[in-house]
Amino acid sequence: MAFKEGFTWGVATSSYQIEGAAYEGGKGLSIWDMFCKQPGKVYGGHTGEVACDHYHLFKDDIKLMKEMGIQAYRFSISWARILPEGTGRVNEKGLNFYSELVNELIANGIEPYVTMFHWDLPYELYKKGGWMNPESPRWFEEYAAVVTAELSDRVQYFITLNEPQCFVGLGHIDGIHAPGLKQSVADTLQMAHHILLAHGRGVKAIRNHAKQEVKVGYAPTASMHYPETDCPQDIKAAKKALFQMPKDLSSNWAWNISWWSDPVFFGKYPEDGIELFGDLMPKIQEGDMEIISQPLDFLGQNIYNGLEVREGKDGEPEFIPRHKGFPKTALGWPITPKALYWGPKFLYERYKKPIYITENGLSCHDVISLDGKVHDPNRIDFLHRYLKELKRTAADGIDIAGYFQWSFMDNFEWHSGYEDRFGLVFVDYQTQKRIVKDSGHWYKEVMETNGKFL
Ligand code: FCB
C-alpha cells in the first residue's frame, strides 16, 4: 500500500500571484498592490496588476486543468475583492467571481480547496495597523464568514492561513515582502498571537456558516529537517531540531514550526519559546488559547526543502553544512527529497492529523524550445524524487491525504516578480498563452496511476 485510494492529487495557486485585475470588479487595494508600487522592492519593478490574467481567463485555465487530469485545485481568495475596505461592505462582483470559479471547477470534475488568506491583506486594514490591531482576528472572522456563506454549499475544503512564517517573517521581520516592515520581536510576537487568534476565529466562522459538513485545515511551512542516517540517534536529533525554537533572537524567529502549530493543535505555546522570549511574550487573554486551538480536520504543510541533521558529540542536534555543488533549483533553493519523507512523518507523530502537502515544487529556467514545447527535465526529476519519498512515508502508514504541486502555472513569485517560473504550465506574459510543460504531462500520469510508477 502506498498512496491510499481516494488520495487527492492537485495543484495550487494564490490570488495575487495569478489573478491580475487589480483595479477591476470593485476590488479594494491590498498590501501587495501597494508594495509593488515602491521602487526597488520587486525584481524588475514587476507587479501583480495583470499577472496571468486569470480573473478573465479562468474558464480556459480550468479547461486546461481538466485536460491535464487535475483532480483538485487549491486557490486563495483575495480578501479585498470580497470586502474592499476589509470589513463591512461586501463586493458582490468579487463574490460572483469566486462563485463562478467554483461552479466551473465542479462542472469539470475538479475539487476546490479554498485558502482564505494567502498574504494579500486589504490595504485599508493595514492602515488600521493590520495584524497588529487586536481587532484583526474579528476582521478575519467576518471575512471568513462571508466567504463560507457564499461558497460552502459547493466547497467542502477550507484552509485558513497560508504560511504565517512567511507573511510575518518576510513581511514584518526581514521586510522583503509586503508590507515591508522590520518590526521588533515583541511586536511580531504580539502580531503572531493575533494571527493565531484570527486562525481560530476563522475556523469557528467556517464551521458556523458552513452549509454542509466541511473539512478545515491550516497551511504553515518551515524547513523540514531530516536525519543524516537512519540510526535512531540521528532520527531523534532531526526530530528535535525540527520542533525546537531558535536558541537566540538574532535570526528570524518566525521560521519555525512549533510556535505556529503547537498553539493550534495543543492550545499552548512551546516551553522553550516561552523561555526564549521571556518578557517579550505577547499578552494572552483568558480564553485565547481555546479560540486558537479549535479542532481541525487536517494539517496542510507546504514543504520545499530541509536541512540535514545528525546527533552531535554533545548529544544535541548538529546541522550538517551542505557540500560543495549541492543540487539547487533555479531560485537557489536546495533539492532535498528526504524532506518529503521525514517532514510528514515527524509532523504526523507530533500532531496526529491527516496531512496534505499543500505546496511543493520548484522554479526552473524554463524556455520555449525550437519545437515549440517546454522541456523541463529538472522539474520532472525533482518531483519524481520528492514524490518517491512521500510514497515511502505513506507506505509506512503515515496518513497522507493529498498532494498539491506548486504551481499550476508560472506566476508572480512575490519579490522575485516573474523572474522565477514554478508552473507545470508555461505562461507567456506577453500574450497570456499557456503551454503545458513536459512536467505537466508527466504529472498527469502520476495522478492517473495514483503514483504507481514512482
Ligand atoms: C511559498 C508560497 C507560494 C509560492 C511558493 C514558491 O512560500 O506560499 O505563494 O511563492 O512559496
User: Does ligand 1 come within 6 angstroms of the Cβ of 120?
Assistant: no
User: Does ligand 1 come within 6 angstroms of the Cβ of 14?
Assistant: yes
Looking at ligand 1, which residue's alpha carbon is closest to its atom 10? 413
Domains of the chain: 8-448 (3.20.20.80)
User: Does ligand 1 come within 6 angstroms of the Cβ of 165?
Assistant: no
Rounded-to-integer distance, Cα 111 and Cα 105, Å? 7
At residue 11's C-alpha, the angle toward residues 371 and 70, to 5°, is 75
One pLDDT digit (tens) per residue for the chain, 454 residues: 589 999 999 999 999 999 999 999 999 999 999 999 999 999 999 999 999 999 999 999 999 999 999 999 999 999 999 999 999 999 999 999 999 999 999 999 999 999 999 999 999 999 999 999 999 999 999 999 999 999 999 999 999 999 999 999 999 999 999 999 999 999 999 999 999 999 999 999 999 999 999 999 999 999 999 999 999 999 999 999 999 999 998 888 999 999 999 999 999 999 999 999 999 999 999 999 999 999 999 999 999 999 999 999 999 999 999 999 999 999 999 999 999 999 999 999 999 999 999 999 999 999 999 999 999 999 999 999 999 999 999 999 999 999 999 999 999 999 999 999 999 999 999 999 999 999 999 999 999 999 999 9
Q: Are 269 and 256 in contact (CB under 8 A)?
A: no
Q: What is Dmax (Cα atoms) for the chain?
A: 64
Task: Return the pLDDT at 250.
Answer: 84
Catalytic residue flag (residue 163): yes
- Rounded to the nearest 5°, which phi and psi values hold at 388? -60, -40
Q: Among 161, 166, 408, which is best to mutate for testing ligand 1, by the most ligand atoms less than 8 A from CB?
A: 166
Cβ atoms within 10 Å of 260's Cβ, excluding its own: 23
Task: Return the pLDDT at 1.
Answer: 57
389 alpha carbon to ligand 1 midpoint, in Å? 21
Among the listed residues 364, 355, 372, 373, the one whose alpha carbon sits nearest the alpha carbon of residue 335: 364
Where do we find the cell 553544512?
A: 321
166 alpha carbon to ligand 1 midpoint, in Å? 9
50 alpha carbon to ligand 1 midpoint, in Å? 18
User: Does ligand 1 come within 6 angstroms of the Cβ of 166?
Assistant: yes
| Nearest ligand 1 atom to alpha carbon 414 | 10
| Nearest ligand 1 atom to alpha carbon 363 | 6
| Nearest ligand 1 atom to alpha carbon 162 | 8
Catalytic residue flag (residue 228): no
Where do we find the cell 495584524?
A: 131
Choosing from 163, 308, 389, 413, the catalytic residue is 163
Looking at ligand 1, which residue's alpha carbon is closest to its atom 4? 413
Choosing from 150, 308, 359, 413, the catalytic residue is 359
292 alpha carbon to ligand 1 midpoint, in Å? 24
User: Does ligand 1 come within 6 angstroms of the Cβ of 163?
Assistant: yes
Task: Return the pLDDT at 252.
Answer: 85
Looking at ligand 1, which residue's alpha carbon is closest to its atom 5? 406
Task: Return the pLDDT at 145.
Answer: 99
Rounded-to-integer distance, Cα 225 and Cα 238, Å? 6
Rounded-to-integer distance, Cα 201 and Cα 93, Å? 25
Q: Are 113 and 105 in contact (CB under 8 A)?
A: no
User: Does ligand 1 come within 6 angstroms of the Cβ of 255?
Assistant: no
